[in-house]
């Protein structure tokens, strides 16, 4: 009886140990599940790191003024369609409003008045005017040709002229009075004349400023004259009629200072004066037939 009881205890202990070992070790399904979860966690971690790296790259490219590729930018931004354009550059359509290009520097003309200031030698400060021959008179150095120069160029010219007298002269020149930019509109316009050029003004805007076309105007051949050099003038024929009919303003050029806009007379209006004008008496007078 004792032997039988001891055998039963041994068998029971073996079963308990086997059960404990089975409970401590996961089965095959549990192992596969844990392995799958670890892989998914690793993939999510790599994806998050990639998104952070791409975002940092976008910030760096924007900081140095580079524009990312539109396709890559769309994928990074979730196809939102929002793209960052580079400041000071034109868009893909060449919009002139976004070019960021500076206007040409003003060049001195006759009758312009200048304030010439010497920073360390105020006794040489003076106000001068560009004479009809293009020269200005300066204290101690005489006449210097100034017409056609920019203010920056004239500062260098005046500085070189005073170098024998002053040691490293520091000079600033400011325009006190100057000729305002203008354009001339003439021909078959309601109010032909000379107009001040204020800001960006196109050909059609200039025509409107001059009162618009008259009935005799040939607005399919408007002439725009522009001085290239002192002895060279270029001309361009503009079909303003086609611009207005097709709503295509690609040829609606911006005027520059000194431009001349001429609207010719139409051929019909030229010969109309020589054509007989019918009146009521013509039809009542039978002797003319």
- Helices (H), ranges, the chain: 2-24, 28-63, 70-76, 151-162, 203-209, 240-246, 267-272, 280-284
Cα 90 to chain centroid, rounded: 5
Phi, then psi, of 188 in degrees rounded to 5: -80, 70
- What per-residue confidence (pLDDT) applies to 51? 62
Tokens representing 167? Answer: 């040691």
For 189-243, the pLDDT digits (tens) are: 999 999 999 888 999 999 999 999 999 999 899 999 998 887 888 999 999 999 9
Cα 133 to chain centroid, rounded: 38
SS3 22: helix
**Residue 146 in contact with residue 130, Cβ under 8 Å?**
yes
- What per-residue confidence (pLDDT) applies to 155? 96
- What per-residue confidence (pLDDT) applies to 289? 39
Phi, then psi, of 162 in degrees rounded to 5: -95, 0
Domains of the chain: 107-177 (3.30.1950.10), 182-273 (3.10.560.10)
Q: Span 15-31, mean pLDDT?
A: 58
* C-alpha–C-alpha distance, residues 268 and 261, integer Å: 21
- What per-residue confidence (pLDDT) applies to 6? 58
Structural element, H or E, at residue 247: none
For 94-152, the pLDDT digits (tens) are: 444 434 455 678 899 999 999 999 999 999 999 999 999 999 999 999 999 999 999 99
Question: How many other C-beta atoms can be found within 10 angstroms of the C-beta atom of residue 261?
Answer: 23
* Band (248; pLDDT cuts 50, 70, 90): confident
Q: For the sheet containing 182-187, what is the strand order?
A: 193-196, 182-187, 260-263, 222-227, 233-238
- What per-residue confidence (pLDDT) applies to 272? 62
C-alpha angle 127/129/132, rounded to 5°?
165
Q: How far apart are the first and last CA of the chain?
A: 162
* C-alpha–C-alpha distance, residues 50 and 240, integer Å: 56
């Amino acid at each position: 009886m004792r032997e039988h009881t001891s055998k039963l205890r041994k068998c029971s202990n073996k079963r308990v140990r086997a059960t404990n070992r089975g409970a401590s070790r996961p089965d095959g399904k549990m192992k596969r599940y844990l392995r799958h979860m670890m892989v998914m966690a690793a993939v999510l971690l790599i994806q998050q790191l990639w998104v952070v790296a791409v975002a940092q790259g976008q910030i760096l490219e924007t900081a140095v003024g580079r524009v990312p590729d539109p396709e890559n930018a769309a994928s990074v931004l979730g196809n939102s369609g929002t793209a960052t354009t580079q400041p000071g550059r034109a868009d893909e359509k060449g919009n002139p409003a976004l070019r960021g290009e500076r206007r040409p520097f003003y060049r001195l003309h006759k009758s312009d008045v200048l304030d010439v200031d010497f920073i360390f030698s105020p006794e040489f400060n003076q106000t001068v005017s560009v004479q009809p021959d293009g020269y200005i008179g300066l204290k101690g150095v005489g006449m210097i040709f100034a017409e056609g120069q920019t203010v920056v160029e004239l500062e260098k010219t005046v500085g070189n002229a005073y170098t024998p007298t002053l040691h490293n002269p520091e000079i600033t020149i400011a325009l006190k009075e100057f000729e305002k930019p203008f354009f001339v509109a003439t021909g078959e316009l309601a109010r032909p004349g000379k107009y001040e050029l204020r800001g960006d003004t196109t050909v059609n805007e200039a025509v409107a400023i001059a009162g618009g076309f008259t009935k005799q105007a040939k607005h399919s051949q408007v002439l725009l004259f522009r001085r290239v050099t002192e002895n060279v003038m270029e001309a361009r024929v503009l079909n303003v009629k086609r611009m207005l009919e097709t709503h295509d303003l690609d040829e609606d050029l911006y005027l520059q200072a000194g431009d001349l806009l001429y609207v010719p007379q139409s051929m019909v209006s030229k010969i109309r004066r020589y054509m007989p004008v019918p009146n009521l008496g013509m039809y009542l007078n039978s002797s003319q037939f």
